[in-house]
Chains A and B, each alone.
Chain A
């Protein structure tokens, strides 16, 4: 069982609101990732981090931002939510030497009205 947690699991919010999706892991992994996934579709990498104070944008352009102040915590923020941001957001982590094995949280399903 992976020790990576995402909150909230579900979020329904109005357009223009600022939101932060939380992700924490207790495995001491250096590498963490945020993916966006529409139902039944592939995962798209939107942000990743290789350690504290290191963040990079992924392959899919996103208006969200991330921070990595502590190893275990990798929150994602949307300053002004829009209906186009409606999706599922998955957080993952991996060991530095075994990046191909990623451990995922259960996801946050975001609906912006």
Chain B
């Protein structure tokens, strides 16, 4: 399944399918882009990041893709599991003081 991030805040997928969560960013000066996962009743948890001079980075079952031409970031989750159900946030690090600017979340629901 695939979301369009800001415009479709909910993504529903079947267990075992691959998920793609999208995010549009606005600041060309951002040097890092980061994905966080927030489970119900918890604070966000770091998943993976990518430096602005890269276009792809892989982690365990997750891949982040960065397209600077269209200012687009995506998180791919392979073989989605029920434990992946959460709200996913993209964030960009900007400015001299390196603050994080957070995007709107996308809710991922995994159906058994």
Interfacial residues, chain A to chain B (CB-CB below 8 A): 2, 40-45, 48, 58-59, 90-92, 99-107
Contacts and interface: CB of A to CB of B under 8 A. Distances in A.
A100 B98 contact: yes
Interface residues of B, number: 23
A90 B101 CA distance: 15
A41 B46 contact: no
A45 B91 CA distance: 12
A35 to B, nearest CB: 8
A102 B49 contact: no
A109 B41 CA distance: 10
B100 A104 contact: no
Q: Report which residue of A44, A90, A104, A105 has the largest number of chain B beta carbons within 10 angstroms of its beta carbon.
A: A104
A40 B99 contact: no
